Chains A and B, each alone.
Chain A
Amino acid sequence: MEVSITTLTRRKNGSIGRKEEVKACETLRIGRGAENEIFLLDARVPLHLAALHDGADGLFIEATGSNDLRLNNSIVRKAHVNVGDIIGIGPYDLCIVEPTDGINIAVTLELVQPIGDDVESLLSRSNLTIAKVGLTKRSSSWIFASIVLVVFLALPLLSTNSLFTKYFNDGSLEQKSQSMVNSNESNFDVSWVSGEVMNSHKFFANDCAACHTKPFVMVEDAACTACHKEQHGHIDKIKFPAEELTSTRCATCHTDHQGPHPVRAAKQELCSDCHNNLDQKVEGMHLANVSDFGSNHPQFKPTVWQDPSKGIKKRISLDDSPIEVSNLKFPHKTHMNAKRMRNPATGKNTQLECASCHVPDISGAYIQPVKMEEHCGDCHVLTFDAIAPKRTVSHGKPETVYRELNEFYSSLALKGGVTDETAPKVVRRRPGTPLVKEEKKAALQWAMSKTEKSSRYLFSASQCGSCHEVIRDKNNASGYNVEPVKVAQIWQPKSVFDHGKHKDVSCAECHAADTSMKSSDVLLPKIEGCQTCHGGEEATDKIPSTCISCHGFHRDDVAIMASPTGKMVQ
């Protein structure tokens, strides 16, 4: 008989490979042995399994070895088989199919449990590449880009108070400068903040639109002056209208988002850009050129009194040996000499210190004015008569002194009991004795003559005149007058000198008081004195000091910055 054996191979893509072989034989034997018509070289198949016969009553199969057969999943030793039946041979399935012409028996053979499962199943459990863990370049690009776009663009733009939100509300992309801020609540646009704002701006640091009033426009001065209403400018914009001088923005010097310190811009070039050649920039400029404290700074020009009675002061360079006309006679040298300083009350000699008279104010930066009563009065006692050795007059105007003297003597004369033997009897009488009109007149005459005498004494060169310029003045009740005393309280009003910061330097290092015999001496050190310690901004062997170490930019004598005219304040 003719037998067709078709071997089926299932490929991975699901298609089936067929390999047909036709054999002529009496019976179709199946087993691992080579003599079988169907021999399967697999350890799982017995040597002799079964034989398929084509009998008169159809096909039948019988087991030829000790192993039973699997026919359509039931166990048999011998059975009739028909087209469509499946016989299990170890890991193989043998299927009876419809034979074609000239063929007696047709079967298909398929390996359904292949060897090598272990590797297959190992790989099925495994994942060998990260391509399969759901991390594709395209999807993660979309995810990250979307997150960035939403969190850092959409949310900040749409947050409350942003200029963009305002546009949706009233159609304007501009915020009015306002002195009070909307809110300081943190919003999504916090992610746009480029750095820490200065401390004084922190209370509205989250309200970006408070300063950034127009999109794509640098912060304008109006945004600053909306709050800083009282800040003065630097120059008279009317007098100096040059673009170069007026175009500088507040934020040019006051850069923000750079940290907590208030004034960030200390660079001297900010000043020296203009001030190093002012004479070329402005015709008839009275200010000297300056660019560096160490190398290019004019000599100090203290403002000193020239005529106190007319209120005239003048700036005079220390190089021109200025003399201050203060109308005060005060030799520092004498007062620094202990031998000459004997306290009349105690009789003891005292060594005066600078601080005995010159006391710092509460800030420590400036020195309080010297007061006669506090600082001079212990020694310069304003007594006037031996009959009342503790009685003094006020350190006041001449007419006041004269009136006090007159009141004192009048009172004494009318009361009586004066022990001075040269005095008339009426004032030496027993105190309390009533006076008749004539006696009163005599007593007051004595009082007047004593007043005149004491007045002459007090206004003499040895008393008031030892410190003051005393002149005869018929218009004054006392017959005298004292020229007004004016001592410069701040010699250099355009700069700031902090005595407190220099307290470890002895006074004498800067102020040559111990050799000064006249109060007209301007006891101020020249710039060279400061330059022994202070240098310009770039100094490496001295204290680097920039313009704003001593000078302020905003000048109280210039109009406020918000003012459109910029006129000088009168």
Chain B
Amino acid sequence: MHDGFLTYGKMKFLKLAVVLCVVTIVAYIFYEPIDEHNGGTWLGYTLGTIGALLIFWLTWLGIRKRRYGANFSLSAWVSAHVYLGLSLIVIATLHTGFQFGWNVHTLAYALMMIVIISGGFGIYAYSRYPKIMSENRRGSSLNDILAQIGDIDRECRQIAAPLPDNVSALVVQSCEQTQLGGSITRILSGKDNRCGATAAFEQLRPLVSEVDQQYSQATRKLLILIGKKCGLLTTVRRDIQLKALMDIWLRVHIPMTVALLIALLIHIFSVFYYW
């Protein structure tokens, strides 16, 4: 498990975050602004300041916790990063006073939410996917499964050598027109609608009863082998899908954090420039 940070130090950062949220909510309920709740009341300024400081600090934590070997507890930093980061959902939302629009202010908020959600997904992925991945591969390594696929291909070629052209063409299709992963959507979906092996399997199935009697047994064996290959391909695709999911959140989290920092600075600058 990679989620030891969640329970770090008897969840002291969770407690801190909860206290922060409760205090914020209570203040929001009891504070009556002259007009509507918004970022420009004194409560709005206070929450905005807390939120901005948290964002800067959490970003720094994100950098800090990657410097391995320094004299600090990694779990502590990650724990603080996660729980205080989540508390921003409450603090920043109440800072907005639920006023949203097509402007740089809401942009900063939206980027922050993307960063938080992607980070949340990262926690989920790291706590859950490693187990799912080993279950998916049933103890084999990815290379084992790839070797099995290679063996099936070779065996298919051998079996197909004496068989009619239409059957051997499907074997070639299964061997040569199959790919794993590819585009980002194909990797993340874990599916391939243009999989050569699957297509060959579907086309081969009716052929089993259509080919000459002398070839039918060999053809049936091919069908079984390609079917098995399709199963293995599904396992591999699921494996690279999960691996990609464990990787992609950070590719959203970090660029969006950088964009958020810029948008946040512009937000602060613009509201005081046109005070």
- Taking Cβ atoms with an 8 Å cutoff, the residues of A that contact B are 115-116, 118-119, 121-123, 125-131, 133, 135-137, 140-145, 147-149, 152-153, 156, 163, 190-196, 208, 212, 215-219, 252-253, 255, 258-259, 264-265, 267, 269-270
Contact = CB atoms under 8 A, between A and B. Distances in A.
Contacts of B240: 128-129
29 contacts: A116-B150, A122-B146, A122-B178, A123-B146, A126-B181, A127-B180, A127-B181, A130-B248, A133-B183, A135-B251, A136-B251, A141-B254, A142-B258, A143-B255, A144-B255, A145-B261, A148-B107, A148-B259, A148-B263, A156-B270, A191-B104, A192-B103, A192-B274, A193-B103, A194-B271, A196-B101, A212-B275, A258-B38, A264-B34
Contact of B266 (A143, A152, A258): A152
| Interface class of chain B by DSSP | helix
B250 A137 contact: yes
A123 B102 CA distance: 46
B259 A121 contact: no
Contact of B182 (A116, A122, A126, A270): A126
A212 B272 CA distance: 10
Nearest to A264: B35
Given A141-B259, A145-B258, A192-B270, A152 B104 contact: yes
B28 to A, nearest CB: 17
A195 B99 contact: yes
B38 A191 contact: no
A118 B172 CA distance: 10
A130 B244 contact: yes
A118 B153 contact: yes
B175 interface: yes
Question: Which 9 pairs between the two chains have the least Cβ-Cβ distance?
Answer: A119-B150, A118-B153, A126-B180, A144-B259, A140-B255, A141-B258, A212-B274, A125-B179, A141-B255
B275 A219 contact: yes
Given A129-B243, A130-B187, A152 B251 contact: no
Contacts of A258: 35-36, 38, 99
Contacts of B181: 126-129
B251 A137 contact: yes
Contacts of B254: 137, 141
A115 B154 contact: yes
A26 B269 CA distance: 91
B262 A149 contact: yes
Interface in B76-115: 99, 101-105, 107
Interface string B121-155: 00000000000000000000000001101100110
A129 B247 contact: yes
Nearest to A134: B184
B32 interface: yes
Contacts of B3: none
B187 A153 contact: no
Contacts of B243: 128-129
Interface string B155-169: 001000000000000
Contact of B40 (A119, A144, A193, A194): A194
Contacts of A264: 34-36
B147 A144 contact: no
B60 to A, nearest CB: 16
Given A145-B258, A195-B38, A259-B36, A135 B184 contact: yes
Contacts of A135: 184, 248, 251
A544 to B, nearest CB: 13
Given A127-B187, A128-B180, A129-B181, 16 more contacts: A119-B147, A129-B243, A130-B244, A130-B247, A130-B251, A133-B184, A141-B255, A149-B266, A156-B270, A163-B273, A192-B270, A192-B273, A194-B99, A217-B275, A267-B32, A270-B34
B256 interface: yes
B14 to A, nearest CB: 28
Task: Pick from A122, A137, A147, A217 the residue with the most CB of B within 10 Å.
Answer: A122
Q: Which of A128, A143, A253 has the most CB of B within 10 A?
A: A128
A148 B180 CA distance: 36
Interface in B165-200: 175-176, 178-184, 187-188
Contacts of A127: 179-183, 187
Contacts of A142: 258
Nearest to A267: B34
